[in-house]
Structure formats: C-alpha cells, structure tokens
Chains A and B, each alone.
Chain A
Amino acid sequence: MNAPLPTRRDEAWRYADLKALEPVWAKLTGPEQITVPAGETVSRQIAELPVIDGVGMIDLDVTIGDKATFILHVLAHNADYGRIHVKATLGNGSHFELGGAILGSGKQTLEIVTETIHAEPNATSNQVVRSVLADTATGSFLGRINVARHAQKTDAAQSVKSMLLDRGATANAKPELEIFADDVKCAHGATVGELNKQALFYMASRGIDPVTAKKLMLQAFIADAFVSLEDDAARDGIEGKALEVLEGLS
C-alpha cells in the first residue's frame, strides 16, 4: 500500500491506534472488492481478524447491485489493534445489513468503521453494533452515511450500544450523516452503559451466581447484533465464538 500513513486528523482514523499500525502499514494490501450481482444475496461472517504483528485489519469495498442484499456479521476481538472497515455502495432497491460485536479487554483498541453510500433510490441499510469493553480497552464505531441527491426513499438505520465493564474502558460512537435527498429516513441511536446492578441482584436472589448472571446479561446484550443472521448454523458459529470471548472478559 503506497498511501501515506493516516493521521488522527483523518476523521475515519480519529480513534485508531496509529502507533500499532505504523510498522505493518506497508504490508497491508488494499481493500477486498466484493460485488453482489443484481437481485442476489451474499452473506458473510468474519469471526476472526487476520492478524500481523498484533494488528488485525479487514477492509471491504462492497458494491451492492440493484435489488441485491449484502449481509455482513463481524466480530472484532483478536488483535491489539483491530479495525474493520466497510464501504458499501448501494444500488436501487438494495439492502446492506451489518451486525457487529466489539469485545475488548486489556489495552485493546478495536473499531468498526463503515461508509454507507446510498447512491440510488429505494435502498435500505441497517447497522447494529454492540460493544463490551473491559479493563482499559477502547471500542469505537464510526458510521458515515451518504445519501445522494436522487436517492429518494432511502431508509438507513444505525443502532450502537456499548457496555463498559470497568472504569478504564472507553466507548466511542460517531454517526455521521451527509444527506442530500429529502425523502429519507435515517434513524440512529447510541448508548453507553454498564451492567444493570438491580438486574444482577435480581438474578442473584433467584440463585444465579455473579459470573453466570454477568454472562447471561452480556449474552443478551450482544445477541441484537446477530438476530439478522437467519442461518442457524452460521449464527451459532459466530455468536458461539462471541460467547467464548465474553467468558474470557469476566
């Protein structure tokens, strides 16, 4: 990759771990190009990042054809610095679905960065990201949505929720909307919270030990990111991996 190393002034890299990135920057190849032909559906799950020297990068450039659907489920966890970047360009009447979980502990910096380009009318996108962060980990979601002037009837939704398990953990959520059409729905919500103490006591009062109670609540919390994955085996695969990582967080 010949491009110069990004800086924090680049909006899409403002929460990145550039120090970790620098030594591997030259080894990175460009984005993987994915084209979903008109009318077709492609579903992809990424449960592990490919890691070089502690840095795990996924970079996808997806072109979604007319009336086509791209469904992506990702798990950001296995890297000191992990970044999943997805640029999705939507054709007329197409759909982009993203379900992502960021599960960080120690000093990890993990992020999901999306650019959703509603280039044509009648397309829909839905992005659900859940982060669980322990110790001094940082988890970030940056989601830019561009709606072109003639992309009427666009419906673009983002739901981003983060759960901080320790005082030192950090969650960033940054939606960025650039909308040039006027008949558009863009719903987005972001919350940051911690485990509900009342619910933990309620569970304890029924006999559930603290470790199991925490596990049940986190499991329920991240499940939102995977409900859109209809194939049971595929969902069990990536959600199962997520649960395994969660157990290591407590």
Chain B
Amino acid sequence: MTISTGVTHRLKNFELKRNQMLKIENLHATVGDTEILKGLSLEINAGEIHAIMGPNGAGKSTLAYALGGRPGYEATEGSASFDGQDLLDMDPHERAAAGIFLGFQYPVEIPGVSNLQFLRESLNAQRAVRGEEALNGAEFIKLAKEKAALLKMDMDMLKRAVNVGFSGGEKKRNEMVQMGILDPKLAILDETDSGLDIDALRTVGSGINAIMRKPDKAVLLITHYQRLLDEVKPDFVHVLAAGRIVKTGGPELAMQLEEEGYEAIAEAA
C-alpha cells in the first residue's frame, strides 16, 4: 500500500515537472544595500500566461532584472531555475540563449548600432550557443520583415540606431519586434503597455498573443493596468507587494484590483 502510493506520487511529480518552465523559490534580492525582493516564490509552466500586478516600488522591475541577471541586482537567498537549470548561476547572455526574453520598462538607446545589426548579432549569438547555424543576411531580413509587419513597425525604423529618437510607444513596439525575431520560450514583459495609446496597445497585445500564446511558451506580464489583460488574457494573476507575492488568483483578481486598489487586497492577504 505504502509503496504504491509512493509510486503514484512520484509519477504525478514527474507529470508536473515535464512542462514546468520557471520555478522561483523564496527569492531574496538586493539593489545596492537594500533588500527589495523578500522571499518571492512563483512557478510558471509552459503554455501559461501569468500577470504580476502591484503598486509602484513593489519590486516588479527588480524581479524582472534579477531574472535577467542585471549587474547590481543580487540574489542573496532562495533559488530560481529555468528548464531545470540554475538560472542564478548563468550570465545574462546565457539566460537569453536558454530562451528568456526581457521586455524592458525603459528600452535602452544604442547610438550608432542599427536595430537590424543588433538583432542579427543577437539572434546569431543565441543560435551559436544552441548549436544552430547562423541565419544569412537574406534569411534574417525576411524574418525581420515578417515580425515588423506583425507589430506594424516600418522597416525603415529597423534600419535606424536602436531606439534612438523612438517615441515611448515605438520603443515598446520595438521590444515586441525583437521578441518576435528572437522567439524566446519565456518572455518577461515589464510594463510593455505603459506609454501606448489604444491602437498601439491592441497591436502589441495581438503581437504578444501571436508570438507567445503557444503550448511550449510562457509569459510573465508585469503591468499596472487591466487594459493589457483585456488583450492578453492571463491564466493567473499575482499581486506583488513589498517584495513578495501576497495573493494569487485567476483573471477575476485583476478586475478586483482595478476596482478596489492594491492596498485593500494587499492588506486583506
């Protein structure tokens, strides 16, 4: 009796693990000398879209940066694994090659480096790590055109220097073009909806769905607002407050947050 229960249990675990993508356990992270993440746990399986909502200063961007490996954002306790690999042990460019994409709240300008050059270098660097052949110029341009069209981005903009002279909304759309080209397994999107007008929000939302709504991919959507979640329907909604996830629910939780505010919910939790 005891033995057979044990076997069933292990099989169940195996089933769960098979599509588990990201597992964060009791993560503590500091910025400078200040602890910002204070024991955050979160699991994301392939095929799922998770939204993280929370007040300003809660630590949402810190979570994104810690997962991306930004220097200065130091994990001091706990663990984070991606596809069974120790994420915290990897360099930022290795995390990208493993399939993690970080959509920046404030995308960075790189004068003198064109978007196309930047993206081709990025894609081919990732492919090299994965033992795949580099795309040649023609193959790459074809791919770039396809993804730019998906996000209604003019190809001429991709010939310009990375984000230089782009409006806030154009920068966010450019992030999504990059995501389309790099085709990650897990996208962590930090307030991709901020700075977008209604039309751009729809374009970005349907872009995220087209690129990432797949059984072998997952998304962690960091957002302040319900409106992106009308476009990209989350499977789970988490509330992040003071460096921890204080509540988890379904899409209805986002509605409740919109109506009642973070404070009421964080306090009740």
Residues of chain A at the chain B interface (Cβ within 8 Å):
196-199, 201-210, 212, 216-217, 219-221, 223-224
A216 to B71, CA, bound (A): 20
* A203→B122 contact, CB < 8 A: yes
A residues in contact with B107, CB < 8 Å: 202
A residues in contact with B117, CB < 8 Å: 216
Residue of B71, B119, B125 touching A201 (CB-CB under 8 A): B71
B residues in contact with A210, CB < 8 Å: 91, 93
A residues in contact with B102, CB < 8 Å: 205
B59 within 8 Å of A (CB atoms): no
Given known A202-B104, A203-B122, A207-B122, contact A220–B96 (CB-CB < 8 A): no
* A220→B125 contact, CB < 8 A: no
Supply 14 further A-B pairs (C-beta < 8 A) apart from A208-B93, A208-B121, A217-B112: A201-B71, A201-B108, A202-B107, A204-B96, A205-B96, A205-B101, A206-B118, A206-B122, A206-B182, A207-B126, A216-B121, A219-B112, A220-B111, A224-B112
B residues in contact with A217, CB < 8 Å: 110, 112-113
B27 within 8 Å of A (CB atoms): no
Prevailing SS type, chain A contact patch: helix
How big is chain B's contact interface, by range?
20 to 34
B70 within 8 Å of A (CB atoms): yes
Distance (whole angstroms) from the CB of B68 to the closest CB of chain A: 5
B residues in contact with A212, CB < 8 Å: 121, 125
* A201→B121 contact, CB < 8 A: no
A-B CB contact pairs (8 Å), 10 listed: A196-B108, A197-B71, A199-B108, A199-B110, A201-B70, A203-B118, A204-B92, A205-B102, A207-B97, A210-B91
B residues in contact with A198, CB < 8 Å: 108
Given known A197-B71, A198-B108, A221-B112, contact A207–B91 (CB-CB < 8 A): no
Q: How many A-B residue pairs have CB under 8 A?
A: 78
- Of A205, A209, A210, A220, chain B has the most CB atoms within 10 Å of the CB of A205
Residues of chain B at the chain A interface (Cβ within 8 Å):
68-71, 91-93, 95-97, 101-102, 104, 107-113, 117-119, 121-123, 125-126, 129, 161, 178, 182
Distance (whole angstroms) from the CB of A46 to the closest CB of chain B: 23
B residues in contact with A219, CB < 8 Å: 112
B residues in contact with A196, CB < 8 Å: 108, 110
Distance (whole angstroms) from the CB of A150 to the closest CB of chain B: 39
Distance (whole angstroms) from the CB of B124 to the closest CB of chain A: 9
A residues in contact with B125, CB < 8 Å: 206-209, 212
